[in-house]
Amino acid sequence: MTQYIELHCHSNFSLLDGASHPEELVARAAELGMSTLALTDHNAVYGAARFTRAAKECGLQPILGAELTLAEEDNPDHTHHLTLLVENQAGWHNLCYLISRAQHDDPKGQAMLPFAELTGCTNGLIALSGCRHSLLATAVQKKNGNKTAVSAARRYLDLFGRDNFAIELQHHYLPDDALRNGRLTALAHHLKLPYVVTNNVHYHLPERHKLQDVLVCIHHLTTMDESAHLFDTLKASPRRLNGEYYLKTGAQMAALFPDQPQAIAHTLHIANRCHFELSYGLQDLPHFPTPHGISSGAYLRRLCQEAIPHRYPQPGGHIQEQVNHELTIIEGVGLANYFLIVWDIVRYARAQGIRCQGRGSAANSLVAYLLNISPVDPIAHDLVFERFLSAERAIAPDIDLDFDAARREEVIQYLYGRYGADHTAMACTFITFRAKSAIRDIGKALGLTPELVSTARSRFGFAVHALETNTTPRADNQTEQNTLDLLLDLSQQIEGFPRHLGIHSGGMIITGSPLMGRVPTEPATMPDRVVVQWDKEALEDVGLVKIDILGLRHCLQVKDNCELSSPKLATIHL
């Protein structure tokens, strides 16, 4: 069996382009006997955590990377692609930085990285020259383009070094593939560069190419018929010309490149160099400044001791015993700094007269009660601390902080001001397709009439029930029946696919080191807001701490009601 590792692979986190979940790609790679697989989504690492988790579950070594869109300095309207793979921690840091720069330098959804930004940010990265839209591939296909290609290749060599740059060859049975690959191979020989084959994978199985076509049409606000017409014109169609962009076996790839066995073998050589693993943890939080430089644990203990007389005028020995027990666990799992940061947020809000309180399992913590984070006395209610935090679970506890919705923005701006915009951002969310609602987008891409789409939506519930009961939903005529079958099939395939990014309702990420080196960031749709490229689940997977700053409209209602009923009640704390 020919050994081959796919180093250029897109999941559905190449939004409205990739047509397979990361888990599907990993499972298929395992079926094909691959020991490793790379994920190189467009200008993003949205799916990196899910991909890594799935790979480990299947016993595969995950390789993280991205396909960047680069802009030429002398003509920013001309862009080209470059494939980057992470070799080590430094490479991940640089990839996150480059993606962030690409996302922030252009309007949202149009990430492009100026070529000059690569300078000084290539350590730990292995670069492949890219697909047919790369600088080298487009150069060699132009008349007298060899000189341009040689110059471009040397620029990449200067940036990445001879050991970290390879010419990328792809063959999808397109008319110009053989000519382009021949010239790229000649370029590699001329400069004594290695070359490697990839398949620019966009789906795990061949049959997913129909869904991929539909996704591209949704993205470009066109139809299958309109985009197909462009195949026969001088304009470029957004769709790919065939269905060859699936995860192929080593034997299939070897058959495409019978004269380049070394290019197949080089995929293993590159894969064997890439062993970076996502791992962060609680120490990524900024260090909370303490008086006289005492430790976080010592300062947290002092705050608790000072608060005991205010919460318990006549404390028994069991109070001190429980405080010591909780602080021992908190310090043991490295969470003292975390508690100080949450305490500081609550302290600021109360000082500004912003109604707030913590909720959830924090009510089980006496330390949270003493710090005024939670209003619930766990001793009086006989609550068990270990349901909130235990030595066996060294993860950040989930403390949700509710604030008066009308003034929550003040708290968010306080965090930006205290820790800096480079260290603070919101978690993202992924707005996903739901099968029934997806019919509208799919119907438009298929060029169907609004009436037919409406009919399909109304019949979808019956169609799903019919599939579950092994019966066939029927339409009024065969044409409508075929349409219903196609819509049902595609809508089920697309269910759960990420469509676009949203912003988490209140999840904030605060890091000690700059965020751009930990996870890429990009502008949010909300002005003056930045989101990281991971959602709540992904952040939990890699151990990055999220602090929920939530808005609660009921706070204002309680305030108004209290003021109307009794001036004394209006002083209660929420």
What is the domain range of residue 307? 282-429+500-571
CATH number of the domain that residue 176 is part of: 3.20.20.140
For residue 359, list its beta bridge partners: 400
DSSP H or E stretch at residue 158: helix 146-160
Specify the pLDDT at position 234: 43
Specify the pLDDT at position 394: 61
Residue 210 forms part of a structural domain: no
Instruction: Output the six-digit token pair for 189.
Output: 């020989």
Same domain? For 292 and 267 the reply is: no
Same domain? For 127 and 141 the reply is: yes
Instruction: Output the six-digit token pair for 174.
Output: 């397109």
Specify the pLDDT at position 2: 75
Q: Could you tell me which of 286, 319, 289 has the C-alpha nearest to residue 304?
A: 319
Beta carbons of 198 and 244 less than 8 angstroms apart:
no
Specify the pLDDT at position 473: 56
Same domain? For 328 and 464 the reply is: no
Same domain? For 353 and 398 the reply is: yes
DSSP H or E stretch at residue 327: helix 317-332
Transcribe 239-301 into DSSP letters. Answer: S-SSS--B---HHHHHHH-TT-HHHHHHHHHHHTT--------GGGSPPPP-GGG--HHHHHH
Q: Could you tell me which of 89, 81, 34 has the C-alpha nearest to residue 64?
A: 89
Residue 238 forms part of a structural domain: no
pLDDT, block means (10 residues), the chain with 574 residues: 91 97 98 96 97 96 97 80 97 97 80 94 97 93 87 96 97 94 96 97 97 94 82 65 95 95 96 90 82 95 96 91 95 92 96 92 93 94 91 75 93 92 93 87 89 76 49 63 81 93 89 91 85 93 87 59 35 31
Beta carbons of 549 and 345 less than 8 angstroms apart:
yes
DSSP H or E stretch at residue 420: none
Q: Among 444, 465, 493, which residue terminates a domain?
A: 493
The β-bridge relationship of strands 165-169 and 61-71 is: unpaired
CA 134 to chain centre: 24
What separation in angstroms does the CA of 106 have from each of 69, 77, 102, 103?
A: 11, 12, 7, 6
**Can you tell me whether residue 502 is helix, strand or coil?**
strand
Rounded-to-integer distance, Cα 384 and Cα 121, Å: 49
Same domain? For 486 and 526 the reply is: no
Identify residue 218 by its one-letter amino acid code.
I
Residue 128 forms part of a structural domain: yes
Beta carbons of 409 and 557 less than 8 angstroms apart:
no
| Residue showing tokens 């990524």 | 284
Q: Among 493, 516, 543, which residue terminates a domain?
A: 493
Exposure letters 34-69 (e unless 16+ CB within 10 A, then b): bebbbbbbbbbbbbbbbbbbbbeebebbbbbbbbbb
Specify the pLDDT at position 560: 45
Same domain? For 529 and 390 the reply is: yes
Transcribe 86-142 into DSSP letters. Answer: E-SHHHHHHHHHHHHHHHHSSSTT---EEGGGGTT--TTEEEE--STTBHHHHHHTS
Same domain? For 395 and 408 the reply is: yes
| Residue showing tokens 């590792």 | 5
Rounded-to-integer distance, Cα 35 and Cα 441, Å: 37
By the 10 Å C-beta count (0-12 exposed, 13-18 middle, 19+ buried), 309 is classed as: exposed
Beta carbons of 108 and 428 less than 8 angstroms apart:
no
Tally Cβ neighbours within 10 Å of residue 178.
Answer: 11
Beta carbons of 172 and 125 less than 8 angstroms apart:
no
Same domain? For 28 and 107 the reply is: yes
Total of domains in the chain = 3
Beta carbons of 521 and 111 less than 8 angstroms apart:
no
pLDDT digits (tens, 9 = 90+) for 182-207: 999 999 999 999 999 999 999 999 99
Residue 277 forms part of a structural domain: no
Same domain? For 447 and 315 the reply is: no
Exposure letters 324-360 (e unless 16+ CB within 10 A, then b): eebbebbbebbbbbbbbbbbbbbebbeeeebbbbbbb
Same domain? For 516 and 543 the reply is: yes
pLDDT digits (tens, 9 = 90+) for 323-342: 999 999 999 988 999 999 99
pLDDT digits (tens, 9 = 90+) for 393-434: 666 677 889 999 999 989 999 999 999 989 999 999 999 998
Residue 296 forms part of a structural domain: yes
Q: Among 493, 516, 541, which residue terminates a domain?
A: 493
Residue 12 forms part of a structural domain: no
Stated pTM of the model: 0.90
Specify the pLDDT at position 281: 67
Same domain? For 149 and 288 the reply is: no
370 CB contacts (<8 Å, ≥6 apart)?
Answer: 303, 304, 307, 308, 311, 323
Give me the phi and psi of 19, to 5 degrees please: -120, 25
Q: Could you tell me which of 547, 475, 542, 539 has the C-alpha nearest to residue 506?
A: 547
For residue 230, give the DSSP letter: H
Residue 507 forms part of a structural domain: yes
By the 10 Å C-beta count (0-12 exposed, 13-18 middle, 19+ buried), 394 is classed as: middle
Residue 387 forms part of a structural domain: yes
Same domain? For 166 and 289 the reply is: no
